[in-house]
Structure formats: C-alpha cells, structure tokens
C-alpha cells in the first residue's frame, strides 16, 4: 500500500519546491548559455535534458521537517511585520 503526504510550501519559498529545483537545473545545465536557432531547437534541447535525467532517476527524499520550515517562515514574517 502506498500513500502520499502533501506538504504545502509558502509561495515565498520556491527553493523548497522540487519542480522549481528541476527548472533551475534545466536552466543552468542546458539553457543558460545555449544558442537556439528556432523553437524546435529549444524543444529538442529540453527533451534531451529530460531524457538524460530519466535515464538515472533519483527519488526525492524529503528530509526537512515541515514544522521547522513553517516556524521559520512565521519568524521571518514577524520580523518583516515589525519593521513596517
């Protein structure tokens, strides 16, 4: 039996989102200094990157304690609120 646990991250913490990490890696490793002469070339580069990533997939092992993350966000908001 498998199950899912959803962890909702604050919108101000995009670095916690695995999808954001994937797009950051794609941008850094494939797109940043790339030269693409057409949309088709760009799509091909993205498809190659996805294929390469899928040849040796690694599951995301969430190690951070969500309660600690939420507490840190709350502390940060309290500090910001006290400044304004």
CA–CA gap between residue 21 and residue 14 (Å, rounded): 8
Tell the burial category of 16 from Cβ atoms under 10 Å away from its Cβ (0-12, 13-18, 19+). middle
pLDDT tens readout for residues 38-81? 999 999 999 999 999 999 888 877 788 889 888 988 998 898 88
The DSSP secondary structure of 11-32, one letter per residue, reads: TT-GGG-HHHHHHHHHIIIIIT
Res. 12: pLDDT tops 90: no
Which pLDDT value is given to residue 5? 73
Can you tell me the distance from the alpha carbon of 26 to that of 60, in angstroms, rounded to the nearest whole number? 17
Q: What is residue 48's predicted lDDT score, i.e. its pLDDT?
A: 95
Asked if residue 19 has pLDDT above 70, the reply is yes
Query: What distance in Å separates the CA atoms of residue 74 and residue 84, rounded to the nearest whole number?
Result: 16
């Amino acid at each position: 039996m498998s199950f899912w646990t959803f962890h909702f991250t604050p919108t101000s913490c995009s670095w916690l989102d695995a999808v954001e990490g994937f797009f950051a890696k794609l941008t850094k490793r494939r797109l940043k200094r790339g030269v693409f002469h057409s949309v088709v070339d760009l799509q091909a580069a993205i498809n190659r990157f996805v294929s390469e990533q899928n040849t040796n997939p690694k599951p995301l092992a969430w190690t951070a304690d969500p309660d600690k993350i939420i507490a840190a966000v709350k502390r940060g908001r309290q500090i910001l609120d006290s400044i304004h």
